[in-house]
Structure formats: structure tokens, C-alpha cells
Amino acid sequence: MSILVIADHNNQTLNGATLNVVAAAQKIGGDITVLVAGSGAQAVADAAAKVAGVSKVLLADNAAYANQLAENVAGLVADIAKGGYKYVLAASTTTGKNLLPRVAALLDVSMITDIISVESANTFKRPIYAGNAIATVQSDEAIIVGTVRGTAFDAVAAEGGSAAVEAVAEANDAGISKFVSEEIVKLDRPELTAARIVVSGGRGVGSGENYHKVLDPLADKLGAAQGASRAAVDAGFVPNDFQVGQTGKIVAPDLYMAIGISGAIQHLAGMKDSKVIVAINKDEEAPINSVADYWLVGDLNTVVPELVSKL
């Protein structure tokens, strides 16, 4: 059985989420091919070729794929998939979620979002209702298309493989969409979904200024990534890509510190698989306490600086 994994990348580096998808592909078992569709993406293909467990890398290098426009990439992926692949997998990133349903529809097959476990060759588990239920689904489709939740699979090694890189000539420009601009938030901290420790703030931090004043020193001290609840994002404290939750990013770090976060269902869905959860909140009844391993009731403006000084 052959598995096509769509690489998540920015034309220069391979996103670590792809390593989790390869891990899921190994659980299914079969020959793993990684497709790198991009522009000037040779370095990404070279990186993909070194990933443990990958037997072949396809590089579709064309201006049409430069910004991962789903309209252009989906046609390419569908054509390659029709050439004999049984599975098409991608990471549950915004890129994967934008692309794969379009691929599935072109192949006229149903798709599985957010696979968290491989039960057998055609049976998978996925969370529904904001993670309040886990569904086991069986696909009877000829080609199984799915996105993989990275935090549910341990990444394979980025080094050790020696796959051959083959060029794909197909240049598929659907001509119905155009990239205009991009605004990427520059961060000096670890990437949120890959971090070992996450420090997250909610509405309780009060303002954007206070978010940074209180949480930055803690994140610095712990070498942690920073996250936020939807309430903090909606209030404009931090950009939306900080959002942890059902409709934001899903994280599962070793330590998740929820500060000034009440713990709405939608937030819990994004972090309740963390190994250790700490809640710091002035409300003794906050729902976050029901999932926290340790919770401290107090004013975050005094507790957090005290914590920083004692670490």
C-alpha cells in the first residue's frame, strides 16, 4: 500500500508537523512518499528526503505552488493520488485543512479530519464536539484522505533517511485565485504547537500590555511558547495565531500554564491532552480547575511575578 504525505512548509523549511504525519503513516504501514509542492523548495525536498521512514520524495517546483493556494495544489495532489496511492495524508494545520477537502472532493471521496489514532488500515479515531467525544470511523473509500493531528503522534526522526528526490513536471495553475500578501508574526519563542512548555493568558490578564508584562518574563524563564484563550484574542490582547482551542491551535505540551483563563469548552478542547496542567485564577469555581493538575487561586498580577522570582 502506498501513502502520499503532503509536506507542510514555507518553501525554505519543512514544518515539524510533517514528521508527525509520517509517524501516523508508519502506523498504517506501507511505502511513504512525501510530496513537496512549492516554489524554490529544493531545500524542503532535501530535508524531507532525510526524514526517517520516507522512501521517496516528489518535488513539484513551480511558481503556481509558491503560496500553497489550494486551487492550484489540489489538482496536482489529486492527479498524483490517482496514480496509485491508497492514502493521502497531511497535517491538521491551516494549510492541510485548506487543501485536503478540496483534494478529497476532486477524488470524489469522503475525508477524515484530525486523525488522533490509527486503529487499522481503514479505521481511525477522531475527536468531535470540541473533543467531548471521540468517534471511531471506518472509511470504505478507494482512497483514504485525512488530516493528522500532530500532537497525537510522536514525530519521527528528521534525520536518518535517504530517499530519492524525483521532480514532478506538472504545473497546475487553476487561474481562479491569486496570492496578494502575507503578514507573519515574528516570534523569538518556540513554536506553539511544538513547545514543551506553553504559558497561556486569558481575559483575566486584562490588557495586551499586561499580557506581555506578566507573561513574557515567565515564558522567558521557562523557555516556553505563549498561547491565549479565544477571549484574550477577541479582546485584542494578542494576535489570533496565539489562540489555543477547538478552532485555534491544538497543543499537548509537557506543561501547560493557564493564567487568567476560565476554561470554556472551546479552550479545553485545545489543551486538555497536555501532560501537566497548571491553572492560576482568582476564581475558585473556574471550570479550568476541573482539568488542572495543580491550581492556585490568587491575583495573577502578584502570583506570576512571585513564581518567576522563585523559578
Partner 1 sequence: MKALVAVKRVVDANVKVRVKPDNSGVDLTNVKMSINPFCEIAVEEAVRLKEKGTVTEIVVVSVGTKDAQEQLRSAMALGADRGILVETADEVGALEVAKILKGVVDAEKPELILLGKQAIDDDSNQVGQMLGALLGAGQGTFASEVKVDGGKVQVTREIDGGLQTVELGLPAIITTDLRLNEPRYAALPNIMKARKKPLDTKSPADFGVTTGTKLKTIKVEAPAERKAGVQVKSVDELVEKLKNEAKVI
CB nearer to partner 1: pick between 49 and 278: 278
What is the chain's length? 311
Scanning residues 234 to 273, which ones bind partner 1 (CB under 8 A)? 234, 239-241, 246-247, 249, 254-255, 265-266, 272
Q: How far apart are the first and last CA of the chain?
A: 51
Question: Quick one: angle between helices 300-310 and 208-222, nearest 10?
Answer: 20
Cell of 303: 502570583
Question: Any contact of residue 61 with partner 1 (CB under 8 A)?
Answer: no
Only one of the segments 23-31, 40-48, 132-140, 155-163 lies at the binding site for partner 1 (rule: CB under 8 A); that segment is 132-140
CB nearer to partner 1: pick between 52 and 235: 235
Question: Any contact of residue 200 with partner 1 (CB under 8 A)?
Answer: no
Among 18, 32, 153, 230, binds partner 1 (CB under 8 A): 230
Question: Any contact of residue 113 with partner 1 (CB under 8 A)?
Answer: yes
Contact call for residues 9 and 18 (beta carbons, < 8 A) = yes
Among 16, 30, 101, 190, binds partner 1 (CB under 8 A): 101
Only one of the segments 28-36, 42-50, 64-72, 165-173 lies at the binding site for partner 1 (rule: CB under 8 A); that segment is 64-72
The single-letter DSSP state of residue 260 is S
Question: Any contact of residue 229 with partner 1 (CB under 8 A)?
Answer: no
Per the annotation, binding residues are 203, 229-230, 243-247, 260-267, 281
